Structure 1
Amino acid sequence: MEQRGIELVPASERYGRPRDLLFLWAGTTTTVFTVVYGTIVVAMGLSFWQAVAAIVIGNLLAFPLVGFSSIQGMQHGTSTMAISRAAYGNKGARVLGFFGWLNMVGFEAGGMVMITLAGLTLLKQAGVEGEGLGLKVAIVLIAAVIQLILPLIGHAAVMKAQKYLTWVFVAMFVVMAILVAPKANLTAGGSADFSTFTLAVMLVMSGGGLSWAPLGGDYSRYLPVDSSRKAVFGYAFLGGFVPYLLLMILGAAVATVVTNASDPISGLPGALPSWFVVPYLLLTVVTLFAANTTDLYSSGLNLQAAGIRIKRWAAVVLDLIFCVIITFVAITSDSFNTMLNAFLGLVVVWLAPLGGHLRHRLAAPQGRLRRRLAVRRERAWPDPLGGPDRPGGRHARRGALAQLQRLRRLAVQRHRRLGLQHLRRLRRRRCRLRRPGPPRGPRQGARPCMTCSMWPTAAGPPTRSSRTG
């Protein structure tokens, strides 16, 4: 059983190759959940081709963030949320760690709800009738025990299991696509306006790369520090982007066949032949277990990054307990899809600024970035699990607002750098002080014009306009 949590991974204990990230993310994202996201995009009122455009744009914008966070994990040897201490300090990183933990628990609970519903449907197919609370509780508890195994063992077990499961999932979804393709009506659906299309792109991003970005460093932290940055980014990006792109398009096609395709248990199987329903439900259960395995392992690390002094295995168990509680609440409610959409909308609120920060740090000159992180890491890691509450960076006292303040400052600096010279040129053309003749210097009592930043000429004394700017 792996004992290391967010502690830094020494170079002597690192292993693996960048291409291992391809199978990890492919196994994690090749799920029925991804197909459901595609059906929800069409259910928002988009036509099939509008949905395809939103899916392509959203995934292209979001999944590079998974590659960026994977590079940071490989370079610094710890989880994504622990790395944020170098920028935001211990206090700011604790807030990010809490939201990261909440994000993972929410997705785990959504997967557990679908596992429970699929289990009930499989039992009904086997002749076991009844949907009482006792049966639901039993299925949830059995699923929780199974779900606990791989995350409890640790990183190596998760990586190896996802590698083998990827091939099984790909084969099953290829069969599913072949069965759905002849029935798809690609001209069906409405025509959404630009605001609805933008919301669809936001949904794709929040359900895809944005939600997986905080996990990137959790699985690349064991890679050797001299691994190729391009390989780490490329494999992490493609491992998530390709499955999401293809499966969400498949979901959009399914939505043109059945009207309630956003329900993966009772609605989506209507587009499949009867003989494939049971294999589809089994595929649903296994793929959701695979995705929840990745979430559950990372949620334990996020709980440690939030400042909770707890062992990694105990954090995994505690996360699963919260997940089970939320699952019980969800299975007794009739508005699961509404709850899911609201959760995805809230995810964007904190993940979008974090994604912008990840992109900025990777775009910075690497020499300067390494020196800055080296200094801040000495402050940020007095103890791997939190240590004394010392300021870990210049944003440590700003809490959850640090992300927004940092992004605002970067935007202002970029605006000034790109627009200041152009603005001065425009002002100089309109300034009335540009007369021929040698300029008068500051020793003669003149001062530069506040409009164009130029010195008055020797054609005469400073005018009223030069004194007022």
Structure 2
Amino acid sequence: MSETSTADPARPAGALGAVEQRGIEPVPVAERRGNPLQLFWVWFAANISVVGMPLGVSLVALGLSAWQAVLVAVLGAFGSFALVGLISVAGRRGGAPSLTLSRALFGTRGNAGPTAVALVSRLGWETVNTSTAALAIVTAASLLVGTGGDAKSAPIVAVLGVVLFVGCTVAVSGMGHGAILVVQKWSTWIFGAANLLILGFLAVTIDWQAVGRVPGGDLAAVLTGIGTIAAGTGIGWANSGADMARYQAPAVRALPLVMSASAGAGIPLVVMISMGSVVGASDPAIAASANPLDAIRGILPPSVAVGYLVISFVGLLLSNHLSVYSAGLTTLTLGLRVRRVWAVIVDVVVTTVASLLFLLVADGFYGPFTTFISLLAVPISAWIGIFLVDLLRRREYDPVALLDLSRNGAYFYTGGVRWSALGPWLVSIVVAALFMRITPGEVPWYTGPLHDTWVGANGMAWLVAAVVGGALYAVFGLRSAAGAR
């Protein structure tokens, strides 16, 4: 069985007013005219959202000072998005989405595991974005009309916030690649400038003496912080790296692709995470709040706070519509024979329900948030390690085999599985789990037998997964990679 193209040649994917008809099939070389600057705008706008603030608050909760948190943000954000840039190189080479290219490594059936994890990751981040946007509406309503300050005390406002955000996401996400490039570019300038104005206002109103009194953490806390930021930023986006880069011109070099992702995402993330760490250091009660935007209500005057909450809502939308776009491609890679627009609709329904449960049922925000990014970081990092090692040898992908799910397909391998890649992926996850602790609340759900070691205590399980997966694949997979085109 072969997945046939859904592209409409009369409606080019790059046209702003047209819904993109292309699914996961490789982009023809003649249509690959992109450049790294386009990706810079895409990643900048996608990471200018207020979600960076909770990450900054979580660093202070780990025991870091605000100044250590800034250093951690630089290392974690720029470094992890360099990985996104490296995976973008595969998109330029193969012209297809990340998880579609991954079929060449894992087999057309064996790739289901990494693809399912990638889809859960995208759905999870969309849930976080949607929930945070709804909380922005809740917070604004509390300032304007005196409703409750969290979702459970103002459930109707929270539901309306979810519906509004989802509606805005669908309005943009269905447009596809051409619209995303235009929207992300102009949004970078508009909302980047607005965020800088708010940051300037915070700079003169924050209690800097309280910030300075927060003691610094030790090396272990710094390493844990770097892992937290890496897991919550670039690692979460890594398996989407090729989704936008598939339109890059074949002549584009690897280094500009890496720099466009690293700088494009790193700059806004460092700004937002730093702001969150400073706000968290000025008021320790913020980390215990059920609403991560309480800091905005407490620090800024009501009129300024409402304006910033509107900016936050739009900033989250810029991240979310890119995530929905990527999730639609990932859904198609799982083998669902539907158009990408319908895949987007299914995605939105799932995240709407999940967001309402997250807002109205879950206890707290930071516990489930950090648990989510820590859990998914392990299987995604394992995939990253294997994918990057494979990229060292692989210079091209067979465009026909990527879509051929039949037993005669070049990437069907043994029963649809390439065990020299899937085996290392599974083993690395198991090994990394030995170092993990899952604690969404006060009581741990799971504690690995090696959690008390230096690696486990410093939250480095994701790095273990990447190193083990990559090393095992280098031993067992590279010998056959040259022939697996």
TM-score using structure 2 length? 0.77
Query: Which amino acid in the other structure matches residue 55 of structure 1?
Result: A
Q: Does 1:119 find its partner at 2:137?
A: yes
The equivalent of 2:170 in structure 1 is 148
Query: Which amino acid in the other structure matches residue 201 of structure 1?
Result: I
SS at match of 1:369: coil
Structure 2 distance, partners of 1:412, 1:6, is 29
Structure 2 distance, partners of 1:356, 1:397, is 16
Please point out which of 361, 365, 377 is paired with 1:336. 365
The equivalent of 2:39 in structure 1 is 21
Structure 1 distance, partners of 2:60, 2:469, is 38
The equivalent of 2:378 in structure 1 is 349
Q: Does 1:264 find its partner at 2:284?
A: no
Query: Which amino acid in the other structure matches residue 114 of structure 1?
Result: T
Structure 1 distance, partners of 2:408, 2:221, is 45
Structure 2 distance, partners of 1:121, 1:342, is 24
Given the superposition, is the C-alpha separation of residues 258 and 322 from structure 1 closer, same or farther in structure 2, using an over 3 Å criterion? Answer: same
String of CA shifts for 1:349-402, please: whole Å, max 9, x gaps.
11211222343244x2xxx5226x44xx654431xxx45596535792548544
Structure 2 distance, partners of 1:317, 1:159, is 21
Query: Which amino acid in the other structure matches residue 171 of structure 1?
Result: A
Q: Does 1:411 find its partner at 2:445?
A: no
Structure 2 distance, partners of 1:332, 1:287, is 23
Structure 2 distance, partners of 1:303, 1:414, is 29
TM-aligned CA deviation for residue 306 of structure 1 = 1.9
The equivalent of 1:248 in structure 2 is 273
1:32-431 aligned at under 5 Å gives the runs 32-127=50-145, 129=147, 132-182=154-204, 183=206, 184-185=208-209, 186-262=211-287, 263-333=291-361, 334-362=363-391, 364=392, 368-370=393-395, 373-374=397-398, 379-382=401-404, 386-387=405-406, 392-393=412-413, 396-398=417-419, 401-403=423-425, 408=468, 411=471
Structure 1 distance, partners of 2:47, 2:199, is 16
SS at match of 2:248: coil
Structure 2 distance, partners of 1:410, 1:266, is 42
Structure 1 distance, partners of 2:87, 2:270, is 20
Higher Rg of the two aligned structures: 1
Structure 2 distance, partners of 1:59, 1:144, is 27
Structure 2 distance, partners of 1:212, 1:332, is 27
Structure 2 distance, partners of 1:400, 1:378, is 22
Query: Which amino acid in the other structure matches residue 217 of structure 2?
Result: A
Structure 1 distance, partners of 2:141, 2:84, is 38
Moved more, 272-281 or 319-328: 272-281
Contact residue 383 and residue 469 of structure 2 kept, 8 A: no
SS at match of 2:394: helix
Structure 2 distance, partners of 1:409, 1:22, is 29
Contact residue 147 and residue 154 of structure 2 kept, 8 A: no
Given the superposition, is the C-alpha separation of residues 389 and 279 from structure 1 closer, same or farther in structure 2, using an over 3 Å criterion? Answer: farther
Contact residue 41 and residue 264 of structure 2 kept, 8 A: yes
String of CA shifts for 1:221-240, please: whole Å, max 9, x gaps.
11222223322222122101
Contact residue 102 and residue 387 of structure 2 kept, 8 A: no
TM-aligned CA deviation for residue 217 of structure 1 = 0.8
TM-aligned CA deviation for residue 410 of structure 1 = 5.3
Aligned length: 405
Given the superposition, is the C-alpha separation of residues 54 and 319 from structure 1 closer, same or farther in structure 2, using an over 3 Å criterion? Answer: same
Moved more, 293-302 or 328-337: 328-337
Given the superposition, is the C-alpha separation of residues 141 and 273 from structure 1 closer, same or farther in structure 2, using an over 3 Å criterion? Answer: closer
Structure 2 distance, partners of 1:343, 1:80, is 22
Moved more, 222-231 or 346-355: 222-231
* Structure 1 unaligned residues grouped into runs of 5+: 416-469
Structure 1 distance, partners of 2:160, 2:77, is 37
* Structure 2 unaligned residues grouped into runs of 5+: 1-18, 429-466, 476-485
Structure 2 distance, partners of 1:389, 1:300, is 27
Given the superposition, is the C-alpha separation of residues 129 and 255 from structure 1 closer, same or farther in structure 2, using an over 3 Å criterion? Answer: closer
Contact residue 152 and residue 316 of structure 1 kept, 8 A: yes
Contact residue 45 and residue 318 of structure 2 kept, 8 A: yes
TM-aligned CA deviation for residue 250 of structure 1 = 2.1
Structure 1 distance, partners of 2:68, 2:186, is 35
String of CA shifts for 1:403-457, please: whole Å, max 9, x gaps.
2558648537989xxxxxxxxxxxxxxxxxxxxxxxxxxxxxxxxxxxxxxxxxx
TM-aligned CA deviation for residue 172 of structure 1 = 1.6
Contact residue 29 and residue 243 of structure 1 kept, 8 A: yes
Query: Which amino acid in the other structure matches residue 59 of structure 1?
Result: A
Moved more, 342-351 or 11-20: 11-20
TM-aligned CA deviation for residue 27 of structure 1 = 0.4
SS at match of 2:36: coil
String of CA shifts for 1:233-276, please: whole Å, max 9, x gaps.
22122101121122212221222222244543223432334441
Structure 1 distance, partners of 2:202, 2:158, is 31
Moved more, 29-38 or 251-260: 251-260
String of CA shifts for 1:94-141, please: whole Å, max 9, x gaps.
211111111011010111111112112323333274755444333322
Contact residue 380 and residue 393 of structure 1 kept, 8 A: no
Contact residue 381 and residue 387 of structure 1 kept, 8 A: no
